[in-house]
Structure 1
Amino acid sequence: MTVPALSPSSGRRRAAAGLVCVLVALVQTGCAATDDRAHGAASERPASPVVARPAAGMAFDYQIGGGYAPPSGVEAVSRDREDEPADGLYNVCYVNAFQTQPGELKRWEKTDPDLLLRDGDGEPVIDEGWGEVLLDTSTAAKRTRLAEIVGAWIDGCAESGFQAVEPDNLDSYERSQGKLTRSHNAAFATMLAERAHASGLAIGQKNTTDLLPRSSAIGFDFAVTEECAQFDECDAYAEAYDGRVFAVEYEGEGDIGFDESCSAWQDRVSLVLRDLDVLPATEKGYVYRSC
């Protein structure tokens, strides 16, 4: 497979996470006083699940290409939703939420063909770089159905023991031939954030600086970025998320060396260098460095 150069704010698939966590949402509500008194009863709403955000500065590893024993000192990892979380670390679950995984296209065509984005001729709109068909987030009805499918994956992440989720390809509208907008994807991301929080998971914004102004409204808790040093975007993410940023640079990509990136950004984001295919440590071509 020929791997294309990454573009600024591209929504590929890479991320990270760890053990030292910060509690951000433990909301407990007591009795609904007015109505309950009127009816002579006391009812309680169930407490919301605890959501733990990653701490700023956590050492992490990006393992979405396959899990392996994390390097010494790593506190957080990101792994695919079908992988197991790493024992004793803060684990982020990778979910391809806005496009299909290449091996799953037949299932989508069979069960939910109308949820695949199509061009004027009825053909699926494809992210040519990765061979993935875009999901159609253009209507509220379709977003609701997609949220049930992707939401079940998010629930599965929680059941497996992950602490957070990173939904990838938030920027699919950039590859949609004008059929999707930022607002479509922001609305869908908001639904996924609600589902993640209901399952007790933090949720990370994956790339896409042009949606940073909406990050709080959507409900994102931290960020996972690719090549933010190459595109001078690290500061924007660091400011938006108070340093709760897992930043992945790729070996051989761009003009800025990793040492230079570390010098510029290691005090603002958690920075790691990986090979572009994000290979497990046992495979030839594996690259891992941290600042």
Structure 2
Amino acid sequence: MTRGTPAMTRGVLAYVTLLAVLAVSALAGCSGADDGRGGGGKARWTPRPGLAWQWQLDGRADPSVDVPVYDIDGFENSAADVARLHRAGRKVICYVNVGAWEDFRPDADAFPRSLLGEPNGWKGERWLDIRRLSALRPLMERRFDMCRDKGFDAVEPDLVEGYGNDTGFPLTARDQLAYNRMIADLAHERGLSVGLKNDLPQIPELVGTFDFAVNEECAQYDECAELTPFITADKAVFHVEYAEPPGGFCPESRTLRLSSMLKKPELGVWRRPC
């Protein structure tokens, strides 16, 4: 008669099996495969086309707008502000300027003056020399750490199209691609999703790297169709107009499945969605 495996032997076999499973899991974790996760294994949020949103960069977030997505200033809002929005069922995006120095931010003195270029048209702001990846990386890491530590779900990095402006530096499209990819990597390493802000010419190269798009005034300049690659990839396009009336851009926005609204340039609470 065949005897069963003794209890002690079964225990040893179970232990060996467990070790093997753990070893395989460790190897998988080191394989470099992108499973869409980061920051402790939490799945990154990928907003889908058509989500309604609020974009408020003027002061602390007003939670009264009943939409599922809020995009708010990362410095001016606290972890408690983010948590309050989360309790109301909202996803929260952290606005951070990555393309220009701002003299009013608490980390302004950390930026070497050699990185600062021409004024960009906004008070207290100057373009950054994005070719200097090694100098900018730790500065942006700390800003993205702030977004993560406050509990944000995503980052909206602003001014990622300096190569098309008079920055004071001879920036090229290749310089911008390298910088934008670094910015996306910094967000993903922290478990945050990241949006491509404007930079329409580089969408074909970057749509696979970024999780959604944020656009200003594509309707005014007849450029909204250029955002289609994000929609085709099932990624949201959060879009605002400042001057065009809703009747002029909302029909096309609905056809293209953009998340569109009219806002005032100061980006306060007021909004008129499509």
TM-score under structure 2 length normalisation:
0.76
Residue of structure 1 aligned with 2:203, choices 212, 233, 236 = 212
Larger % of helix: which? 2
> Given residue 221 of structure 2, which amino acid in structure 1 is its aligned partner?
F
Q: Residues 181 and 77 of structure 1: is their aligned pair in 2 closer, same or farther, counting only changes over 3 Å? A: same
* Alignment partner of 1:259 is 2:247: yes
Question: The residue matched to 2:29 in structure 1 has which SS?
Answer: coil
Distance in 2 between residues matched to 1:32 and 1:116, nearest whole Å? 48
Report deviation, 1:32.
Answer: 6.9
- Quote the residue 1:245 is aligned against: 237
Segments of structure 1 that go 5 or more residues without pairing to the other structure are 1-29, 37-41, 118-124, 282-286
Greater Cα radius of gyration, structure 1 or 2? 2
Closer/same/farther in 2, CA of residues 31 and 232 from structure 1, 3 Å limit = farther
- Tell me if structure 1 keeps the 8 A contact 2:94–2:147: yes
Shift in Å, 1:159: 1.6
Cα deviation per residue 1:60-116 (whole Å; 9 max; x = unaligned)? 1111113102423x11010011213223211111000010124249934x6522222
Partner of 1:60: 53
Q: Name the SS for the 1:264 alignment partner.
A: helix
Matched, 1:158 2:148: yes
Q: Distance in 1 between matches of 2:56 and 2:133?
A: 29
| Distance verdict in 2 for CA 1:164–1:114, change over 3 Å | same
1:152-183 Cα deviation digits (max 9, x unpaired):
11121122111110110011222224521222
Return the letter of the residue paired with 1:62. W
Give the 3 Å change call, closer, same or farther, for CA 263–232 of structure 1 in structure 2.
same
- The aligned residue for residue 227 of structure 1 is 217
User: 1:28-43 maps to which residues of 2 (within 5 A)?
Assistant: none
Unaligned runs of 5+ in 2: 1-20, 31-36
Change (3 A) 1:111 1:262: closer
- 2:262 pairs, out of 255, 273, 283, with 273
The percent identity for this pair of structures is 29
Computed over aligned residues only, the root mean square deviation of the Cα atoms, in angstroms, reads 2.5
Corresponding residue of 1:69: 63
Which AA in structure 1 matches 2:29? Answer: R
Q: Structure 2 CA distance, aligned partners of 1:257 and 1:43?
A: 55
Within-5 A mapping of 1:76-91: 76-82=69-75, 83=77, 84-85=81-82, 86-87=85-86, 88-91=89-92
One-letter identity of the residue aligned with 1:152: R
Larger mean Cα displacement after TM superposition, 89-98 or 147-156: 147-156
Q: Which amino acid aligns with 1:213?
A: P
Q: Does 1:182 align with 2:173?
A: yes
Moved more, 155-164 or 175-184: 175-184
| Structure 1 SS opposite 2:72 | strand
The count of residues paired between Structure 1 and Structure 2 equals: 232
1:215 Cα offset (Å):
0.9
Amino acid of the structure 2 residue aligned with 1:133: R
Measure, in 1, the Cα distance between the counterparts of 2:111 and 2:240: 35
The letter of the residue matching 1:266 is R
- Paired letter, 2:266: D
The offset of 1:269, in angstroms, is: 0.3
| 2:120 corresponds to 1:127 | yes
CA contact 1:238–1:269 (8 Å) conserved in 2 = no
Distance, in Å, in 1 between the alignment partners of 2:176 and 2:195 is: 15
Does the CA-based 8 Å contact 1:126-1:133 persist in structure 2?
yes
SS at match of 2:221: coil
> How far apart are the structure 2 equivalents of 1:156 and 1:220?
20
- Pairwise CA distance, 1:187: 0.7
Query: Given that residues 104 and 124 in structure 2 are in contact (C-alpha distance below 8 angstroms), is that contact kept between their aligned partners in structure 1?
Result: no
